[in-house]
Amino acid sequence: MKRVLTFILISIFILIMQQSFLSGLKINFLALDATLAFIACSSLLLDEVESFIVALVTGLIVDSFSPYVFGVNSIIYISISYLFTLVQKKIYKERTLILILLNVLAVILKYLIIFGSYYIVSIKIDFIKIIKDVVPFEMFSNIIFAIFLFNFLKKVVNIAFLQKEWKF
Amino acid sequence: MDFLKNKLLTIVLVLCLAFTIFIGITAGNKGNTGIVQNILTTGFRPLQKTLYVAGQRISNIFQFVSSLASLKKENDELKKEVEELRLKLVDFEKFKKENEELNKLLNFKNSNRNIKLLGANVVAKVGGEWFDILLIDVGSNDGVKKGQYVIAGNGFVGQVIEVNPNNSKVMTILDEMANIPAKVSSTEDIGLLTGIKSINKDKQCKISMLPYDTKAKEGDLVVTTNIISEGDSIIQDNILIGKITSIEEEKPSLTKVAYIKPEVDFKKLEKVMVIIK
């Protein structure tokens, strides 16, 4: 539970940083979704239940800030968290290439879910323009951010009081 | 925990279904009000405000450093610009008229003394890359209502779409979903103002559905119009939105669309005013 609470606090901090600090920086072609990168990284470090709870709480908080629809981010985060916790047992997650591929996959999944939801509820968005102008930059920004974040979260997980005891 | 672990897939699927239904229910609302949302925004506000201002400052430092590198190039460009401006003095009368028009629009507060403005600070930009929504630190306790227009010194910023007791969300004119009625000042042609999605931070907006035979041209001013009323909120007309940069045909609908450079510099937006009365 301590790990879950710690990760939820980190997710809130990252969300505030994204909404206030990063949005204030006027860097062209920076399209970072820091919370998505955080969910992808945390899913590789926590177990299924912990990762699910962190993703659900983060999703609900992000949705509380989002206009128009409530629930899209929650679906995105719990789906990604569930898929990545399944995958993490079968791969060597320390490799940077794996981290890059999973972040690319996370962005693709995110936009598939968003496009699907918006299409269903008839919200008009220029999908082609988003795919052309935003998705590649978001993938790139997320990969760079995730590489640093993953190393940071690994250190957090390895802090003595957050380590899990083995059950034999 | 073990129960959760065993039933995780079922829980994930049920939650996805529940959230999908929730999306359908909440899709029609522009705002997203609620107790949780209000607690979160109120609780995070001081930290958000500090970080937002810090972000602005760091951005300004970056801009200053990058401007140093291009100083010589900028100097040459400025010299060229000075020459061009000298030639443009011939059009003094035209500029004088435009200046009068601008003054008339920008000082609308003086000419409309019954208007009451409420100052506010921008504390965050929410909605990620997806929406252009600003979070401001005034809410229903200060007299803000949904639908009210927001200005920033010299131009139109957007419309209040959601009001909480201590904060509000403002959809800017750069948002694709803005849909605010506007008119071309010189021709009185009315159209619909929306943003243009772009990764480049120099965002523009556009006024669509202009008549095909419109006389609007590059450089014309675009202002708000009170052609429609929204609830009990005040829709103020003649607030300057920006200048037309180009006009194109909208082929399927046989109308024209004009691209606008907004008057407000959204990059440096820290303080805004809400027209509350």
Contacts with B197 from chain A: Cβ below 8 Å: 125-126, 129-130, 133-134
Residue A61 domain flag: yes
Residue A17 domain flag: no
Kindly report, residue by residue over B179-212, the tens digit of the pLDDT: 888 988 888 888 989 888 765 656 788 888 888 8
* pLDDT tens per residue across all 277 residues of chain B: 666 667 778 888 888 888 888 777 776 665 555 566 677 677 777 777 777 777 777 777 777 777 777 777 888 888 888 888 877 776 776 667 566 655 654 565 565 666 788 888 888 887 766 668 888 989 888 888 888 888 887 688 999 988 888 889 998 888 888 888 898 888 888 898 988 876 565 678 888 888 888 888 888 889 888 776 665 556 677 888 898 988 888 877 788 889 998 888 887 777 888 888 7
**What is chain A's mean pLDDT, rounded?**
83
Yes or no: say if B258 and B184 are a contact pair by the CB < 8 Å rule. yes
Instruction: State the ipTM, two decimals.
Output: 0.77
Residues of chain A with pLDDT > 90, as a percent, come to 13
Q: Do A25 and B40 touch (CB under 8 A)?
A: no
More confident residue, A129 or B255: B255
Nearest to A48 among B8, B29, B128 (CB): B8
CA pair distance B152, B156, nearest whole angstrom: 6
The predicted structure's pLDDT at residue A77: 92
Contact of B1 with chain A, judged by CB distance below 8 Å, is answered with yes
Nearest to A134 among B41, B48, B129 (CB): B129
CA pair distance A103, B112, nearest whole angstrom: 53
Range of the domain at A59: 35-158
Angle at CA of residue A36, ends B35 and A158, nearest 5°: 100
Chain A's closest residue to B51, CA to CA, is: A21
Instruction: Tell whether the model's pLDDT for residue A137 goes beyond 70.
Output: yes
Chain A's closest residue to B125, CA to CA, is: A19
The predicted structure's pLDDT at residue B130: 62
Q: Do B176 and A125 touch (CB under 8 A)?
A: yes
Contact of B7 with chain A, judged by CB distance below 8 Å, is answered with no
Contact of A162 with chain B, judged by CB distance below 8 Å, is answered with no
**Contact map slice: B 80-119 vs A, CB within 8 A:** none
The predicted structure's pLDDT at residue B162: 87
Total domain count, chain A: 1
The predicted structure's pLDDT at residue B28: 63
Residue A29 domain flag: no
Residue A16 domain flag: no
Residue A84 domain flag: yes
More confident residue, A38 or A132: A38
Rounded mean pLDDT, A146-153: 89
Q: Do A68 and B29 touch (CB under 8 A)?
A: yes
Lowest mean pLDDT among A70-79, A87-96, B237-246: A87-96
The predicted structure's pLDDT at residue A38: 92
Residue A163 domain flag: no
Angle at CA of residue A142, ends A141 and A144, nearest 5°: 70
CA pair distance A22, A20, nearest whole angstrom: 6
Contact of A65 with chain B, judged by CB distance below 8 Å, is answered with yes
**Contact map slice: B 10-49 vs A, CB within 8 A:** 11-12, 15-16, 18-20, 22-24, 26-27, 29-32, 34, 36-37, 40-41, 44, 47-49
Domains of chain B, start order: 109-275 (2.40.10.340)
Contact of A22 with chain B, judged by CB distance below 8 Å, is answered with yes
Our CA-based measurement puts residue A99 at a distance from the nearest CA of chain B, in whole angstroms, of: 23
